[in-house]
Structure 1
């Protein structure tokens, strides 16, 4: 059988424990058809020479807020604590429209492709207007990106003891009805799906107990996953102690979320016993190293979580806290942070790559098809580029060199067997026009007076 596409002459990282020097990978109908080495490569309609470069599975972004690239590096709040940072930006995010969500999602996906990401979720929890997630899905489909939308929500405004203004929160019945609508309209549980949906109340301090409980029930009824922020900040500990009389993790368990449908973002401040309980229940977590270090609020110890039995992925988090959407940079930072915290033998480049691939796939409940390049997997992969200067002297281990040298960038990013990034730049339609619209919308949003 003639393949649609053949990647040849690569150092191929197929999966943990399976690497091929001088390898090839054949793609047919959006799937990995075969991998191998030597002259037995199949015929293909198109051949891309990797010229000895590293080829990996596409990286998987397990936590993001794409709309936040409209307020990147926003100076008035760059030195704030998490809660003060949110208070400073919520009034700007209240200006989100169908156009600004579509444009910011389009730009976010283009940037993710440049950083080697082939599947991303997005935690969209600010809803000043209806149908904003529909705009996100439209952008992802135009590009051809594998997208895991999440129906986020907030119910508690400042008047109700929360952080956001009333303009960005919704009533419970609206949230639950729209959750059902989105699930029935867009969620595709079939193998190889390009669009899936999860339910994702923003945080324990921003939604009512009813939303947490009913979201878990809807997830069970519609076979969806669940996502939220958890154990991210000491202010969250104080809030849960005051309002619920328990820790964030204890409340998470109380409302029926401690099960294999759930994955959480950040998870910085749980006790060891709480980690063990959630790991045993099948909950996964997404570490967001750059964002948490930028805000200065601590960061999860990914390798400790794994030692205690929890599956861990990586996330870029919001583009207004991380200020970038490069999964390569998140992966490198995760490795450096792991070694800084626990010593030079604590974490290798392969450990970090496993977080960014298999770990992210586990968060999304999708590790049968994505996060690896075994035959039958979705054909989502990256040919990486490092300059000859950066690689000079790095002769022994291409995977370690990929993270230790650098910066690396994706030369070619392939999703579902389609080339979406070529020669380091997205092939997305009308990207220049999108960027001009993005600048106009970002200027308008950032012009809102502080305070």
Structure 2
């Protein structure tokens, strides 16, 4: 058994149900599990001892929605100033050039960024499987997560409704429903761990109402529930999605989910911007969760999730960074700050504060993933998943008045000093442990350049240089 002792912390912010904090406190863990926390704990030695003088300890942040493969298609000029459907149509032509090694590199970059911003558990939604490329692509993400030491929740995404059948994506990145079901079953049987303190859990995740069939939804739900795994999809993200569903399906997006068995406490959706009041009530009643992705929603101009109404109704809401192509980063603390500022603007400064947003990214996110017994707060019996910031940084000078809100409001340039997952240090002094970050960055950029070059040759469009022809091309 390995042991961990963190002592003399400036403060320990637990995010437990009573929001306890322990100024000057300590934490002791055996293997993954916290066995003591507070002041004057009866432990003075451990295999790993961290003197946390001047440092504040927080529970690890939990990312409930991501598309890690998109890390190789960030900051592309051609897709700026586009809304979701046009953005997707363009990027599909690039993503169909993906190779297995690209998936590994993009996952390692994205998960590394998450760890460096205090995230200890990440869910990912991988749904783009180009024709002629090995189907075992999520395996590459799981390999990267294992090397970095992050707790990982990949969801096996899928698209079966290609353009020739009236869907949005090109046929080249869609699969047959038989292939989807076979690989979903393989991934669950190979990697899913339902036990306590699991490092990998697997979910089932058809992509969106405009890229799947009702048959795929029903088959996916049946498969997921036969294995007892969770279900995830995009929903209510844009007005275009609403219009598509009404025109093609004769019902709103949530009605489509309800008609095909995709509601319940084992389901969570990404975005949830355009749920009306009645739908919010139904979400709460059925126990569905929603991943809030404020940065992506703002960048894409999609809209603002009605988070206050959802929380008041009892909907489980977690936080997600979404795909890096619609965020351009994987910074969980940055996402918490964005949520706080956005909802101050939309709802006023009294409805949801900075500490509330931090709770959405910890305990509430854990509940969305069905993992609240293990992670989301610092308590005896839970996992030793946490991050620390050094309050002595210049960026915090004059701001040391509320430790719970400090990392949300100040010091965002390089906030996290240490990240620990399952009792192991994976970020130390702001750097990934055991990773040559500069080499990884070079390899990922080379892969990104190759992707854009291949797509440009295929489509005769220079994605890396041309701007989209939008209303203000010279602005």
User: Partner residue of 2:432?
Assistant: 426
Q: Which segment drifts farther, 394-403 or 439-448?
A: 394-403
Give how far 1:406 is off. 2.1
User: Partner residue of 2:25?
Assistant: 23
SS in structure 1 of the partner of residue 201 of structure 2: strand
SS in structure 1 of the partner of residue 29 of structure 2: strand
Output aligned runs, 1:400-411, within 5 Å.
Answer: 400-407=405-412, 409-411=415-417
Give how far 1:44 is off. 1.9
User: Partner residue of 1:252?
Assistant: 257
SS in structure 2 of the partner of residue 21 of structure 1: coil
User: Partner residue of 2:469?
Assistant: none
For residues 423 and 113 of structure 1, what CA distance do their matches in structure 2 show?
12
For 1:112-149, what per-residue CA distance to the aligned partner results, in whole angstroms no more than 9, with x for missing partners? 11111000011000011210011111111122211101
SS in structure 2 of the partner of residue 340 of structure 1: helix
Of 451, 461, 475, which aligns to 1:445? Answer: 451
Give how far 1:40 is off. 4.4
User: TM-score of the superposition, structure 1-length normalised?
Assistant: 0.97
Q: Higher strand fraction: Structure 1 or Structure 2? A: 1
Q: Kindly indicate whether the alpha-carbon contact (under 8 Å) linking 2:56 and 2:391 is maintained by their aligned counterparts in 1.
A: no
Of 355, 358, 361, which aligns to 1:356? Answer: 361
CA RMSD across the alignment = 1.6
For residues 71 and 212 of structure 1, what CA distance do their matches in structure 2 show?
28
Q: Kindly indicate whether the alpha-carbon contact (under 8 Å) linking 1:133 and 1:151 is maintained by their aligned counterparts in 2.
A: yes
Give how far 1:2 is off. 8.9
Structure-2 change in CA distance of 1:229 and 1:45 (3 Å):
same
Q: Kindly indicate whether the alpha-carbon contact (under 8 Å) linking 1:203 and 1:230 is maintained by their aligned counterparts in 2.
A: yes
Q: Kindly indicate whether the alpha-carbon contact (under 8 Å) linking 1:2 and 1:43 is maintained by their aligned counterparts in 2.
A: no
The gaps in structure 1 that reach 5 residues or longer are: none
For 1:219-271, what per-residue CA distance to the aligned partner results, in whole angstroms no more than 9, with x for missing partners? 11000100000000111111111111110011111110111100000000011
Q: Kindly indicate whether the alpha-carbon contact (under 8 Å) linking 1:112 and 1:327 is maintained by their aligned counterparts in 2.
A: yes
Of 53, 56, 59, which aligns to 2:58? Answer: 56
2:119 is equivalent to residue 113 of structure 1: no
Of 199, 202, 221, which aligns to 2:226? Answer: 221
Q: Kindly indicate whether the alpha-carbon contact (under 8 Å) linking 1:8 and 1:25 is maintained by their aligned counterparts in 2.
A: no
Q: Kindly indicate whether the alpha-carbon contact (under 8 Å) linking 1:305 and 1:312 is maintained by their aligned counterparts in 2.
A: yes
Of 313, 331, 336, which aligns to 2:336? Answer: 331
Give how far 1:391 is off. 2.1
User: Partner residue of 1:82?
Assistant: 84
User: Partner residue of 1:93?
Assistant: 95
User: Partner residue of 2:386?
Assistant: 381
For 1:146-170, what per-residue CA distance to the aligned partner results, in whole angstroms no more than 9, with x for missing partners? 1101100001122111222211100
Q: Kindly indicate whether the alpha-carbon contact (under 8 Å) linking 1:287 and 1:315 is maintained by their aligned counterparts in 2.
A: yes
Q: Kindly indicate whether the alpha-carbon contact (under 8 Å) linking 2:156 and 2:202 is maintained by their aligned counterparts in 1.
A: yes
Output aligned runs, 1:239-388, within 5 Å.
Answer: 239-385=244-390, 388=393
SS in structure 2 of the partner of residue 296 of structure 1: coil
Give how far 1:401 is off. 2.4
For residues 198 and 2 of structure 2, what CA distance do their matches in structure 1 show?
24
Q: Kindly indicate whether the alpha-carbon contact (under 8 Å) linking 2:391 and 2:400 is maintained by their aligned counterparts in 1.
A: no
Give how far 1:444 is off. 1.0
Q: Kindly indicate whether the alpha-carbon contact (under 8 Å) linking 1:5 and 1:28 is maintained by their aligned counterparts in 2.
A: no
Of 154, 158, 170, which aligns to 1:153? Answer: 158
For residues 391 and 6 of structure 2, what CA distance do their matches in structure 1 show?
21
Of 168, 182, 187, which aligns to 2:173? Answer: 168
User: Partner residue of 2:13?
Assistant: 13
- Give the number of aligned pairs: 451
Q: Which segment drifts farther, 401-410 or 221-230?
A: 401-410
For residues 212 and 22 of structure 2, what CA distance do their matches in structure 1 show?
48
Give how far 1:431 is off. 4.1
User: Partner residue of 1:236?
Assistant: 241
Q: Which segment drifts farther, 249-258 or 5-14?
A: 5-14
Q: Kindly indicate whether the alpha-carbon contact (under 8 Å) linking 2:9 and 2:57 is maintained by their aligned counterparts in 1.
A: no
For residues 74 and 395 of structure 1, what CA distance do their matches in structure 2 show?
39
Q: Kindly indicate whether the alpha-carbon contact (under 8 Å) linking 2:63 and 2:123 is maintained by their aligned counterparts in 1.
A: yes
For 1:63-94, what per-residue CA distance to the aligned partner results, in whole angstroms no more than 9, with x for missing partners? 00001010101110111010000011001011
For residues 401 and 145 of structure 1, what CA distance do their matches in structure 2 show?
24
Q: Kindly indicate whether the alpha-carbon contact (under 8 Å) linking 2:116 and 2:431 is maintained by their aligned counterparts in 1.
A: yes
User: TM-score of the superposition, structure 2-length normalised?
Assistant: 0.92
User: Partner residue of 1:73?
Assistant: 75
For residues 332 and 432 of structure 2, what CA distance do their matches in structure 1 show?
15
